[in-house]
Chain A
Amino acid sequence: MSIIEIRNLTKKFELDGHTITALDGIDLSIEKGDVFGIIGMSGAGKSTLVRSINYLETPTEGDVLIDGENLANLNEKQLRRMRSRIGMIFQNFNLLEQKNVLENVCFPLEVNGVKKKDARKRAKEVLQLVKLSEKEKAYPSQLSGGQQQRVAIARALATNPQILLCDEATSALDPQTTFSILSLLREINETLGITIVIITHQMSVVTEVCKKVAIIDGGRLAETGTVEKIFRNPESDAAKELISGKEIRFTPLSNLDTGRKIRIVFKENSAYEPVMANMILKLQAPVNILKADTRNVGGKAVGEMILGLPEGESIKADIISYLTERGISVTEDFENE
């Protein structure tokens, strides 16, 4: 039996007389012990989906079953008890800013009626697990983003949940911190056997830790399967876009002796490859791709590349004019750290 079973889940919002269908007939099974990724573009319905798993959002149609128990059949009190068996972490950590780390971790325990003394004991245990014991007296504002997320993880684990829901938990963090948080999540999954659901818009997060993935597009389930299968052989357009368009990382094979670096920005990610390939063919210019990334700029995803150019002023001018003609922004003499 799946630990999370989502059947025909539909969620509609009424907003100023309009009906927004945030989720449209989602069917999904998540097995015990999985690290399950749910990926999709902004507005795809990911947050609504994850919030339906602990019934912070009540479905308009369909069912959510946790460990075989249909949440629709629970009363308020039973639902609250069920929620304490499901941990949740967020993009903005959502810690109590006026309480210190230890008090934050004690919070879910006290809410669930654990005695103060026992709560503190348990809180210290989980803080040790996330390697933040020395910060127990600190306030959230004194911690880095990564540390705050560790506190949030400790808080989510305090009540010994079977499931941990992560809604864009690494989206506010830099790549290194993201990596360390994802490692921690993997460790939690392996040592404690907690089922983890990871919501993200970043393919790199999914490929880093998830075993299985579901792709959400416009409130519908576009594709689901093992990460390996979808990464190798994406079938839906949404999957293809998420995989090919985003965050392709080229590591330079060798640090070729490059004179000049330029930074180029694409408006459309899909324009990457043909433009680059054609340029190299046409100009016979061996450019070195030092970095390729996708960034969120003012809510829009833009592709960014840093190129190392071969020596020579004329070839540089040719490359720059070739790119600018195709609507690509070029920053000259760009120094990358």
Chain B
Amino acid sequence: MNEQVIIMLLEGIRDTLYMTFGSVILGYALGLPMGILLYMSGEDGLKPKPVIYRILDLIINIVRSIPFLILLILLIPFTRLLVGQSYGSTATIVPLVICAAPYIARVVDNSFHEVDEGVIEAARAMGADNWQIVWKVLLVEARTSLLTGFTITTGVLLGYSAMSGTVGGGGLGDIAVRYGYYRWDTDIMVVTVILLIVIFQIIQNVGTKISQQSDKRKR
């Protein structure tokens, strides 16, 4: 393997991490508030608002039922409008975020539902308002579960970012497609796949460790 290939792979790793973490962070910036709203407006939420809940629920279901590759293509005009082009790492972050946000909202809503209702009731009895319950009770008590959700989401987005390589998304997936599919250079393709697996493993292990360590329920 020559120097050029190594540089290309290193850049691939950089772009993959950029797309994955960029979309996770922006995804949470959008999905976390959505998840909070979903939880709060839900039937057994802090402030049930059936209409808001149903609209939110519908949007989330629609976006989640569209396969990522199709979403990627559907969003091309929107992506171009937003970042000026429809290919490359930065452009790929746009559909990744759109895909991730509803998923994250569900994950957050789920984590919140795992919090013991008695604890929420106790907070209410102490005079806490809804926002204090979100900040000081739900986000704290669901921390472990939220971090697990974060880890899983990051793994999913790593996979999707590689998938976007098929349409020129950049990163390791892009390299794998270009060399493996168009040029039949299987060596490079195998290396990129191994790199993806290694990155995935690192994310999983680090994430699991952090979420376990955050849990004060045992020990």
| A interface residue numbers (CB < 8 A to B) | 54, 56, 76, 80-84, 86, 88, 90, 92, 94-100, 107-108, 110-112, 139, 141-142, 152, 155-156, 159, 165
| CB-defined contacts of B123 to chain A, threshold 8 Å | 107, 111
| CB-defined contacts of B136 to chain A, threshold 8 Å | 107, 110-111
B128 near A80: Cβ-Cβ < 8 Å: yes
Select from chain A the residue with minimum beta-carbon distance to B117. A94
- One of A98, A152, A159 near B143 (C-beta < 8 A): A98
| CB-defined contacts of B141 to chain A, threshold 8 Å | 96-98
- One of B119, B126, B144 near A111 (C-beta < 8 A): B126
- One of A84, A94, A98, A155 near B215 (C-beta < 8 A): A98
Select from chain A the residue with minimum beta-carbon distance to B119. A94
| CB-defined contacts of B129 to chain A, threshold 8 Å | 76, 80
Show 6 A/B contacts (Cβ-Cβ < 8 Å), sorted by A.
A56-B121, A80-B129, A88-B122, A107-B123, A139-B219, A159-B127
- Asked whether any CB of chain A lies closer than 8 Å to the CB of B183, the reply is no
- Least Cβ–Cβ distance between B138 and chain A, in angstroms: 11
* Most A CB within 10 A of own CB, among B119, B143, B214, B215: B119
Select from chain B the residue with minimum beta-carbon distance to A84. B127
| CB-defined contacts of B214 to chain A, threshold 8 Å | 98
- Least Cβ–Cβ distance between A52 and chain B, in angstroms: 12
- Asked whether any CB of chain A lies closer than 8 Å to the CB of B124, the reply is yes
- One of A82, A96, A108, A165 near B140 (C-beta < 8 A): A96
Chain A at the B interface: mostly helix, strand, loop or mixed? Answer: mixed
Contact A90/B122 with A96-B140, A111-B127 known, Cβ cut-off 8 Å:
yes
- Asked whether any CB of chain A lies closer than 8 Å to the CB of B125, the reply is yes
Report the 4 A-B pairs with minimum CB-CB distance, sorted nearest first.
A84-B127, A94-B122, A108-B126, A94-B118
Determine the interface band of chain B, counting residues with CB < 8 A from chain A: 20 to 34
Within 8 A of A (CB), among B118-172: 118-119, 121-129, 132, 136-137, 140-141, 143-144
A92 near B118: Cβ-Cβ < 8 Å: yes
| CB-defined contacts of A152 to chain B, threshold 8 Å | 122
Q: How far is the CA of A94 from the CA of B215 in the complex (A)?
A: 17
- Asked whether any CB of chain A lies closer than 8 Å to the CB of B116, the reply is yes
A95 near B119: Cβ-Cβ < 8 Å: yes
Q: How far is the CA of A97 from the CA of B140 in the complex (A)?
A: 9
| CB-defined contacts of B127 to chain A, threshold 8 Å | 80-84, 108, 111-112, 159
Select from chain B the residue with minimum beta-carbon distance to A82. B127
| CB-defined contacts of B218 to chain A, threshold 8 Å | 141
- Least Cβ–Cβ distance between A109 and chain B, in angstroms: 9
Q: How far is the CA of A97 from the CA of B216 in the complex (A)?
A: 7
| CB-defined contacts of A92 to chain B, threshold 8 Å | 116, 118
Q: How far is the CA of A112 from the CA of B144 in the complex (A)?
A: 26
B124 near A56: Cβ-Cβ < 8 Å: yes
- What 9 additional pairs, Cβ within 8 angstroms, besides A86-B125, A96-B137, A110-B136? A83-B124, A90-B118, A96-B140, A97-B216, A98-B215, A112-B126, A142-B219, A159-B127, A165-B125
Q: How far is the CA of A139 from the CA of B215 in the complex (A)?
A: 10
A98 near B216: Cβ-Cβ < 8 Å: yes
Contact A83/B217 with A96-B119, A98-B140, A107-B136 known, Cβ cut-off 8 Å:
no
- Least Cβ–Cβ distance between A112 and chain B, in angstroms: 6
Contact A159/B126 with A98-B141, A98-B143, A98-B216 known, Cβ cut-off 8 Å:
yes
Q: How far is the CA of A81 from the CA of B126 in the complex (A)?
A: 9
B126 near A83: Cβ-Cβ < 8 Å: yes
* Most B CB within 10 A of own CB, among A84, A107, A156: A107
Q: How far is the CA of A107 from the CA of B122 in the complex (A)?
A: 11
- Least Cβ–Cβ distance between B119 and chain A, in angstroms: 5
A111 near B140: Cβ-Cβ < 8 Å: no
B121 near A94: Cβ-Cβ < 8 Å: yes
| CB-defined contacts of A165 to chain B, threshold 8 Å | 125
Q: How far is the CA of A56 from the CA of B217 in the complex (A)?
A: 28
- Least Cβ–Cβ distance between A122 and chain B, in angstroms: 14
Select from chain B the residue with minimum beta-carbon distance to A76. B129
A88 near B125: Cβ-Cβ < 8 Å: yes
- Least Cβ–Cβ distance between B122 and chain A, in angstroms: 4
| CB-defined contacts of B137 to chain A, threshold 8 Å | 96
B122 near A100: Cβ-Cβ < 8 Å: no
B119 near A107: Cβ-Cβ < 8 Å: no
- Least Cβ–Cβ distance between A30 and chain B, in angstroms: 17
Contact A141/B216 with A95-B119, A96-B119, A98-B141 known, Cβ cut-off 8 Å:
yes
- One of B122, B126, B140, B216 near A139 (C-beta < 8 A): B216
- Least Cβ–Cβ distance between B3 and chain A, in angstroms: 50
| CB-defined contacts of A81 to chain B, threshold 8 Å | 127
Q: How far is the CA of A142 from the CA of B218 in the complex (A)?
A: 8
| CB-defined contacts of B144 to chain A, threshold 8 Å | 98
Q: Residue-by-residue, is B197-219 near A (CB-CB < 8 Å gives 1, otherwise 0)?
A: 00000000000000000111111
Contact A97/B126 with A92-B118, A111-B132, A111-B136 known, Cβ cut-off 8 Å:
no
| CB-defined contacts of A156 to chain B, threshold 8 Å | 126
- Least Cβ–Cβ distance between B168 and chain A, in angstroms: 44
- Least Cβ–Cβ distance between B59 and chain A, in angstroms: 29
